[in-house]
């Protein structure tokens, strides 16, 4: 069976990451932005595992687990913050929660 070249994975990873970046930059809804971040993380994860499989090196896979753990923790905290924000401000549009800006 023909092996899929690593570059395919990388291109897919790059597309995923670029989608994440784009979503992060142009979306206004906090939850969508949050999902875009997850998308970026997973894009990176994909390249990690692709390289790990290519070089038969487990470090990449271990790294992916770490990223997933951190992402899960982040999701928990982030969603909690989003709920708190929505309760106080009754909106999820980030242009209306930019109080930290000068």
Partner 1 sequence: MNEPNLNLWLIPILPLIGAAINGLLGKRFSRQVVAAVALCFSGAAFAKALQVVLQFSSLPTIPHVETVATWLRSGDFSVSYSFALDQLSVVMLMVVTGVGFLIHIYSVGYMWEEGGYYRFFSYLNLFMFFMLTLVLASNYLLMFIGWEGVGLASYLLIGFFFTRDSAAAAGKKAFIVNRIGDFGFLIALFLMIQHFGSLNFSDVFSKIASNPQQFPVESAGAGVLTAIGLLLMVGACGKSAQIPLYVWLPDAMEGPTPVSALIHAATMVTAGVYMVARSHVIFERAPSAMMVVAIIGTLTAFFAATIGIAQTDIKKVLAYSTVSQLGYMFMACGVGAFSAGIFHLMTHAFFKGLLFLAAGSVIHAVGGEQDMRKMGGLWKKIPWTWGTMLIATCAIAGIPGLSGFFSKDEILWRAYQYPYGGPVFWIVGVVTAFMTSFYMFRLMFMTFAGEYRGAAGASHGHEEHAEHGTHLGRDDESRAGVPAPHDPAPHGHGHGGIHESPWVMLAPLVVLAILSVVGGWVGIPGSLGGNNHFDKFLGPVFRSSTPAVNAEHAQSGESVPPEQTTEGEEPKTGHSTELMFTGISVAAGLLGLFLAWLLYSAKPDLPDRIADSIHALYTAVANKYWVDEMYATIFVKPLIGISTLVFWRGVDQTVIDGTLNGGAAGARELSDEVRHMQSGNLRSYAGWIAIGAACVIAYMVWVGTR
Instruction: Give the residues lining the site for partner 1 (CB under 8 A).
Output: 21, 24-25, 94, 98, 100-102
CB of 77 to partner 1, least distance (A): 17
With respect to partner 1, which residue has the nearer C-beta, 1 or 99? 99
Axis crossing angle, helix 30-55 with helix 59-89, rounded to the nearest 10? 180
| CA–CA gap between residue 37 and residue 41 (Å, rounded) | 6
CB of 40 to partner 1, least distance (A): 10
Helix (H, G, I), strand (E, B) or coil at 29: strand
With respect to partner 1, which residue has the nearer C-beta, 92 or 94? 94
CB of 41 to partner 1, least distance (A): 15
Q: What residues contact 45, with CB distance under 8 A and at least 6 apart? A: 64, 67, 68
């Amino acid at each position: 069976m023909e092996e899929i070249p690593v570059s395919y994975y990388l291109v897919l990873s790059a597309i995923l990451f670029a989608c994440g970046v784009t979503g992060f930059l142009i979306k206004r809804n906090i939850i969508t932005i949050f999902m875009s971040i997850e998308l970026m993380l997973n894009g990176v994860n994909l390249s990690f595992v692709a390289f790990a499989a290519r070089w038969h090196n487990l470090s990449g896979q271990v790294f992916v687990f770490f990223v997933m753990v951190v992402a899960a923790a982040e999701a928990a905290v982030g969603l909690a913050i989003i709920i708190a924000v929505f309760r106080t401000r009754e909106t999820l549009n980030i242009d209306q929660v930019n109080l930290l800006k000068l």
